[in-house]
Structures are given as structure tokens and as C-alpha cells.
Amino acid sequence: MAELEELDGCELDFSESLTVEDDVEALLVPAGEEEDEEESEGDAAGPAMGDRGIAKRLRKAGLKVREVDGWKTRGRDFAGAAAAFNPKGSVNHHTGTPESVPGNAPTLGVLIKGRSDLNGPLANVYQTRNDTILVIAAGTTNHAGLPDGGEIRGMHGNSQAYGLEIEHAGSSPLPDKRLRIAARVHAALLLGRDLPARQVVQHREWAPSRKFDLASNFGTLTSKETNAQACNKFRAMVDEEFRKLKK
């Protein structure tokens, strides 16, 4: 068997990004033509691949959702390059796209296809600048890479974590409204596997030596203690969203 990938791809290189809104629309399932799919446990042909209930759960959570064409069969595991997707939690990211890059979804092209040096997809879901949630992949994606702070809440790599990329420069705090939407996305993702809010981590918790996303979301992070508080505050926010969704 070929060596499996464990790569991460945020703070992206935008040379291959899409910036034209028409191009983005061409990559999406036309609005109103989405087909919801029930959670599948697999059949005689083998276990189900990927999580094909993502879009349905996000919509049910009241989010503005669009599906990227082909998402139900997209993933590094579908390509035979990663372990089968078996999420135990999720990781929160920002793209690091400079604010000078125009468009609502400037990173979508890279998140789907990857770059010449990094295979896509690079996230399961993408929160655009206007907070539309684009569903990119049902399977394993190259978003988090190997944890370098040890084991992260029992997760060991990309095949064990959903990845959300938020379109955000990372140089200023993410507004509370956008953060709340991200928390709701994580809650909807984890609901599919009946996982608790404590299984949501920031990329900087996962890989503290090389990543700082999601940055600045609860003020400056001047100490390890402050960092832990900020990460816990986000998990509490996810938990609040869980309670709303379960009502």
C-alpha cells in the first residue's frame, strides 16, 4: 500500500485561487437541485465511504448551504491516499487569505483541488466571507496534518477529524456573528457521529509549533493560559449550538 498522506493546507497560496464569482457558481450544484441523502451504514459492497449527511445536517441547522459539485465522492480516502474517514472530532481553521484578495469565496478553488505541492481537498466545509457554508468533501481531507502537540483528544490525523476552513485573513478578530456561525457548523458536523463539543479543537491546539489558526478570535493570545481559555470558550459556544439544535 502506498504511504498515506498526513498534510495540512491552511494559510494558503492564492496563486491558484478563484476570485471570480461566476467561476465559483460553476463549481456548485445548482441551487434547489441538491438531493439530501440519509446517513448510510454501507451495504454488501462494503462500509459507507465518507459522511454524505453533512449538507443535510448543515441545512437542518438553519445555515445557508451550497454544495460543491461532486462532494459526496470527494476525499483523499476516495483517491486511495488516506485512511477511510472516521471522524472523532473536528478542527477549526482560517484560510489566511489577505483582505485585498477580492470575492466572496476566493479560496474555493484551492480547497477543492489543492496546489501543485498539496493534494486537495483541503477541507470538508468552507465558510465564505458572506457566511455561506460550502460543502466540499464527504471524505478525508488534507486540513490538519499530523498533530505536533501529541495526541489531540484522541485524534491522530486527518482521517479522524472534520475540517472547517473559514475565509478570514487572521489578522483581526473574527466578528462574533461569524464565530457563532462557525460554532454552529461544528455542532452540525459532530451531530452526525454523535460526538460532543469537547471534540472541537483549533488548528493551533493540534499543531502549536506551526499553526496559529483560528487566530485572534477571543482577543490577543499572550499566554498559554489565555490560549486555553479561548479554545475552551469556543467549545462552550459549540455546546450552546448543540443545545439549540437538539431542541
Footprint on this chain of Zn ion (rule: CB under 5 A): 10, 93, 203, 213
The answer to whether residues 169 and 97 touch, using CB atoms and an 8 Å cutoff, is yes
**72 or 93: whose CB is closer to Zn ion?**
93
Handedness of CA 139, 143, 149, 153 (dihedral sign): negative
Shortest distance (Å) from residue 25 CB to Zn ion: 26
> What cell numbers appear for 227 in the block?
490560549
> In the sheet where 125-127 sits, what is the strand order?
65-67, 133-135, 125-127, 161-166, 89-94, 200-202
Residue whose CB is less far from Zn ion, 65 or 144: 144
For residues 132 and 65, the answer to whether their CB atoms sit within 8 Å is yes
Helix, strand or coil, per DSSP, at residue 172: coil
State the burial class of residue 156 (Cβ atoms within 10 Å of its Cβ: 0-12, 13-18, 19+).
middle
Cβ closer to Zn ion: 49 or 126? 126
Which of residues 75 and 145 has its CB atom nearest to Zn ion in the complex? 145
Q: Which is nearer to Zn ion, 49 or 123 (CB)?
A: 123
Rounded to whole angstroms, the Cα distance separating 152 from 146 reads 10
CB of 199 to Zn ion, least distance (A): 17
Shortest distance, position 172 Cβ to Zn ion, whole Å: 17
> How far apart are CB 16 and Zn ion at their closest, in Å?
18
Query: Which C-beta is closer to Zn ion: that of 40 or that of 171?
Result: 171
Residue 16 CB coordination number (10 Å): 13
Rounded least distance, CB 31 to Zn ion, Å = 29
Query: Omega before 191 cis (within 30°)?
Result: no
Task: Give me the least distance between CB of 211 and Zn ion, in Å please.
Answer: 5
Q: Which residues pair with 200 in a beta bridge?
A: 90
